[in-house]
Amino acid sequence: MEKRVTFSNTWLAVALILPQILLVFVFFYWPAGEALYWAFTLERAFGGGNQWVGLYNFTSVLSDPKYLASVRVSMLFAVCATTLSLGIALLLALFVDRRLAGYQVYKFTFFLPYALAAPAVGLAFRFIFAPDAGFFSAINDFFPGLWNPAFDGTDALVLIIIAQAWSMVGYNFIFFLAGLQSIPRSISEAGAMDGAGVLRRMWDLQLPLITPTLFFLIVINVTDSFVNSFGIVDITTGGGPARATDLMVYKIYNDGFQGKDYSLAAAQSIVLMLLIVALTFIQFRFVERRVHYS
């Protein structure tokens, strides 16, 4: 879509857009380019600039079992947290959209968790699921030693998955509800006339009609699980125990800023960027095209 009536002062136009372009250049494009440069070079041991090493950083990153483990955990985390929170949010949105008595209350409270900072969510869940105090610890009274995220990697992973899923449910709910409410009532009514019950209509009418929202949310959730997870992991588990929750962004932070190995961290950043760009690309290119009903 374009404007028919425009202004013709080119210098003014440039001046208006300049602040944004400068910011984007300095804090986005330049750093991204520099990450590329670092990823293909290594700092010389005795100073004197960087040495071109080709794909060395990538091969050493990709053959590092610790890194591969981190990728695996990140994927598992992304898939579980996304599925969990999308599933719950979808169910809630479908039910709220039935507009039974009091549905307004849910509409205005379900999204609340999204307002919380990731580390705040992490801290809350660390307490709730602490093995020796808090809400969930009572389970250890009945089954001693069953739950301890400080020593059991699986427990720790479950803990951060629940925290992440919880923090995203509200956000997903808003989008699902918006999607459902944009479906014309007449379609549902026509379905009802044809004898389709409530559940049947949800499954055969509403679900297919909000698949674009669903796919959009999958991409957002997966990206967010890579990005937002830092605050949760940092506060709850610190990547442990025994690297069981060492997610990719957390590992980049550790290698780059605690370990001071910028080349290694840059190579990891590039892999992560490529992953996220690929995801977004799939979203735009294939999903948007195939899933289109309007």
Applying CB under 8 A, does 142 fall inside the site for other proteins? no
Q: Which of these segments, 11-19, 42-50, 69-77, 78-86, binds other proteins (CB under 8 A)? A: 11-19
Applying CB under 8 A, does 198 fall inside the site for other proteins? yes
The CB density around residue 255, as the number of other CB atoms within 10 Å, is 23
d(CA 156, CA 204): 38
Q: How many residues bind other proteins (CB under 8 A)?
A: 112
Residue from 24, 76, 146, 187 in contact with other proteins (CB under 8 A) = 24
Applying CB under 8 A, does 95 fall inside the site for other proteins? yes
**67 or 166: whose CB is closer to other proteins?**
166
HSE-up of 130 (CA within 13 Å, CB side)?
A: 11
Q: Which of these segments, 53-61, 76-84, 94-102, 203-211, binds other proteins (CB under 8 A)? A: 94-102
- The residue with tokens 């520099």 is 34
Residue from 79, 120, 158, 291 in contact with other proteins (CB under 8 A) = 120
Q: Is the peptide bond before 119 cis (omega within 30 degrees of 0)?
A: no
**55 or 112: whose CB is closer to other proteins?**
112
**How many residues would you count in the chain?**
294
Give the shortest CB-50-to-other proteins separation in angstroms: 13
d(CA 224, CA 226): 5
Applying CB under 8 A, does 150 fall inside the site for other proteins? yes
d(CA 131, CA 154): 14
CA–chain centroid gap for 39, Å, is 24
d(CA 170, CA 110): 5
**56 or 106: whose CB is closer to other proteins?**
106
Residue from 133, 145, 194, 195 in contact with other proteins (CB under 8 A) = 133
Computed over its alpha carbons, how large is the radius of gyration of the chain?
24
- Collapse the DSSP code of 44 into the 3-class scheme (helix H, G, I; strand E, B; otherwise coil) and give the result: coil
Applying CB under 8 A, does 26 fall inside the site for other proteins? yes
Q: Which of these segments, 40-48, 52-60, 76-84, 104-112, binds other proteins (CB under 8 A)? A: 104-112
Applying CB under 8 A, does 230 fall inside the site for other proteins? yes
Q: Which of these segments, 48-56, 70-78, 203-211, 221-229, binds other proteins (CB under 8 A)? A: 221-229
Q: Pick from 214, 221, 225, 220: which is nearest to 90 by CA? A: 214
**13 or 55: whose CB is closer to other proteins?**
13
Q: At what angle do helices 30-39 and 262-282 cross, to 10 degrees?
A: 120
Give 43's strand partners: 50
Tokens encoding 56: 């060395």
- The residue with tokens 């949310």 is 217
Residue from 78, 84, 90, 92 in contact with other proteins (CB under 8 A) = 92
Residue from 53, 119, 207, 215 in contact with other proteins (CB under 8 A) = 119
Applying CB under 8 A, does 28 fall inside the site for other proteins? yes
Applying CB under 8 A, does 240 fall inside the site for other proteins? yes
